[in-house]
Amino acid sequence: MNISYRNMKKIKHQSRILACWTLAIIFFFPIFWMVLTSFKTELQAISIPPLFIFEPTFENFSIVQERSDYFKYATNSLITSFGATIFALIIAVPSAYSMAFFPGKYTKDILLWMLSTKMLPAVGVLMPIYLLADAAGLLDTKTVLIIIFAMMNLPIIMWLLFSYFKEIPSEILEASRMDGCSTFDELRHIVLPLSWGGVASAGLLSIVLCWNEAFWAINLTAGDAGTLTALIASYSSPEGLFWAKLSAASTLACAPIIVFGWFCQKQLVQGLTFGAVK
């Protein structure tokens, strides 16, 4: 009886692991396929039936490198997405902290209103923003992208931080206040360490969203400030099959953020669990 129970548990454990891997492979397969395609020739890329085994070529990558200054685009992406995220986090952390721990009468409404600033569809406000950016002399600069990205993601970061901060048991904070912690100390020594995983995941999400933002990154830039989404746009063509090259460009564009995500996922899980704190 005891043995069979243990066996049951083991089988359950094993089948859950199997399910995890199956799901992971299903979800990752399209990306794997894109990366695989980037090593094919254009003819192999459209082959029927699809090719799984073939002699890989690096031609696509060398063409992308030759044709466009990948590092310029990548640097722009890096600067704009990190710049905007840091900017937004600096503003959002204190705000979310104060909303979570000193909620006022209108806190909930303010939060909802913040989210509603994202409701204006980009295609509807292209002209106003373009005219403003032009008037400010900010067209084709990283500055304008940093500002727009930060404003776009601020509400989301606020919401995420707010919800993570809310999960911190209030007893911990009360104890610290008894000890005479100032607001700043409390934020720095108690709230942030406890919700570091949450801050990291909010930051990661914001960076990813900036990294993949295409509409503004293409419409407000020309030769100087284009990000990797603009690089991708330069490889899709309505007349000509460039799947292998497009896949190579996409692989190059997504690789940094996937690698970054891989490092971050450790941060996300390392966030201290409250059970251990108590």
Touching another protein, residues 16-75 (CB under 8 A):
16-17, 19-21, 23-25, 27-28, 30-31, 33-34, 37, 41-43, 46-50, 66-68
Site string for another protein, 159-198 (x = CB under 8 A): xx--xx-xx---------------x-------------xx
The only residue of 173, 210, 252, 254 in contact with another protein, by rule CB under 8 A:
254
How far apart CA 134 and CA 108 sit, in angstroms, is: 36
Q: Phi then psi for 154, rounded to 5 degrees?
A: -55, -50
Cβ atoms 208, 77 nearer than 8 A? no
Choice between 74 and 126, CB closer to another protein: 126
Residue 270 beta carbon to another protein: minimum distance, rounded to whole angstroms: 9
How far apart CA 164 and CA 195 sit, in angstroms, is: 6
Cβ atoms 258, 32 nearer than 8 A? no
The only residue of 140, 172, 176, 181 in contact with another protein, by rule CB under 8 A:
140
Amino acid identity of residue 83, one-letter, is G
How many residues bind to another protein according to rule CB under 8 A? 140
DSSP 273: P
Helix/strand/coil for 192: helix
Type and span of the H or E element at 256: helix 243-270
Does 219 bind another protein (CB under 8 A)? Our answer is yes
The only residue of 57, 61, 74, 143 in contact with another protein, by rule CB under 8 A:
143
Choice between 3 and 102, CB closer to another protein: 102
Choice between 7 and 236, CB closer to another protein: 236
Cβ atoms 206, 146 nearer than 8 A? no
In the range 111-130, which residues lie near another protein by CB under 8 A?
A: 111-112, 114-130
